[in-house]
Structure 1
Amino acid sequence: MPVELVRTGGDPLRNGFPALYAEMQRFYARQMEFLDTHDTGPWAETFTEDAVIELPSPAPPVPARAGLAHYVRAGAARRRAGGLLDHWVGMLDVRPQEDGTLRTRCSALVHAVPDGGGPPVLYVYAMEDVLVRARGTWHTAHRRVTRDDLA
């Protein structure tokens, strides 16, 4: 079901914003589930072909889909070592833009899932995305990730 985007000066409650916000919550829940389970095909498909991710490191931004290979190797190594990571996304802010894109900002907690212990929080991130709608679904075109302890 298409959602009418809120334009500047519009009433977000009359223009479908609650449905759009719920759609964004589902989008991030699925995207993080694909990431945490290393389901790389569906995870990559949540990004545009030319998407870029800016990570909290001195390295330059990386193409999202090409950068996936590194994550797959690191995730497989963690799994072999018995450690998993889990991402929790919250405090989502969704801002429709005049050009039909969405700008979102959320907090992401990354915690380790140890065998037999409580999951310690490893990192707290802020994720700022630009989302575009293509083929009836939303895709991340640009992601900027900042880590609170490195800001």
Structure 2
Amino acid sequence: MTTPTEATDRSAHEQPEFGVLYAEIQQFYAHQMQLFDSFLAESWAGTFTEEAVFDVPTLPHPVRGRAGLVACVRHNEEAARRTGERLRHWLGMLDVQPRPDGTVHTRAYELVYLTPPGGEPTVHRVCVMEDTLVRRRGHWRTAHRVVSRDDLR
């Protein structure tokens, strides 16, 4: 029989490992989204695996590989120059599920804010983002991303 002290000790021992993983994933996304919103195309694409799949409803087909990811960011940057609008991506309600094979499945709500020149920011899109993350050379990388929009369901 497990005593309350043993259960508490085991719980305290197990939680930091998951807590560290969760903090790593949160930091990964904070960095990744800021690269994306800053149009740092190559750096952002570098947070994905070489063979990554990026499946978002704003594109007609899933993008495969880093060159395609860089092209997406360049397209967004050009659109922002034309309109003067600024997009910011905010992730929340992050669910992190480690898998036996070492990958991590994540699911998060993604709010996309749009700020027109001189205007007030508004929620532009409400999305769900699901990723498969892998650790490569000691760093987390997105291997597969699927984003769905609430208004298109």
Q: Give TM-score scaled by structure 1 length.
A: 0.85
**Corresponding position of 2:126:** 124
Q: Provide the identity percentage.
A: 49
Residue pair 2:92, 2:109 contacting (<8 A) in 1 also: yes
**Corresponding position of 1:88:** 90
Give 2:14's aligned amino acid.
R
Deviations 1:83-114 (A, max 9, x none): 11110011100000000000000011111122
Structure 1 residue 53 displacement after superposition: 1.1
Cα distance in structure 1, aligned partners of 2:42 and 2:59: 27
Cα distance in structure 1, aligned partners of 2:62 and 2:81: 26
Residue pair 2:106, 2:132 contacting (<8 A) in 1 also: yes
**Corresponding position of 1:71:** 73
Cα distance in structure 1, aligned partners of 2:59 and 2:12: 39
**Corresponding position of 2:27:** 26
Q: Name the SS for the 1:133 alignment partner.
A: strand
Quick one: structure 1 residues 87 and 98, their matched pair in 2 at CA, closer, same or farther if it must change by over 3 Å? same
Q: Name the SS for the 1:132 alignment partner.
A: strand
**Corresponding position of 1:114:** 116
CA RMSD of aligned residues (A): 2.0
Give 1:140's aligned amino acid.
T
Cα distance in structure 1, aligned partners of 2:44 and 2:12: 30
Q: Name the SS for the 1:14 alignment partner.
A: helix
Structure 1 residue 58 displacement after superposition: 7.8
Cα distance in structure 2, aligned partners of 1:147 and 1:13: 38
Q: Give TM-score scaled by structure 2 length.
A: 0.84
**Corresponding position of 2:14:** 14
Cα distance in structure 2, aligned partners of 1:11 and 1:48: 34
Give 1:20's aligned amino acid.
L
Q: Name the SS for the 2:113 alignment partner.
A: strand
Cα distance in structure 1, aligned partners of 2:37 and 2:122: 16
Cα distance in structure 1, aligned partners of 2:59 and 2:71: 19
After the TM superposition, which segments of 4 or more aligned residues of structure 1 sit over 6 Å from their partners?
A: none
**Larger helix share, 1 or 2:** 2
Structure 1 residue 21 displacement after superposition: 0.5
Quick one: structure 1 residues 11 and 128, their matched pair in 2 at CA, closer, same or farther if it must change by over 3 Å? farther
Cα distance in structure 2, aligned partners of 1:37 and 1:90: 19
Unaligned ranges ≥5, structure 1: 1-9
Structure 1 residue 11 displacement after superposition: 5.8
Structure 1 residue 35 displacement after superposition: 0.4
**Corresponding position of 1:3:** none
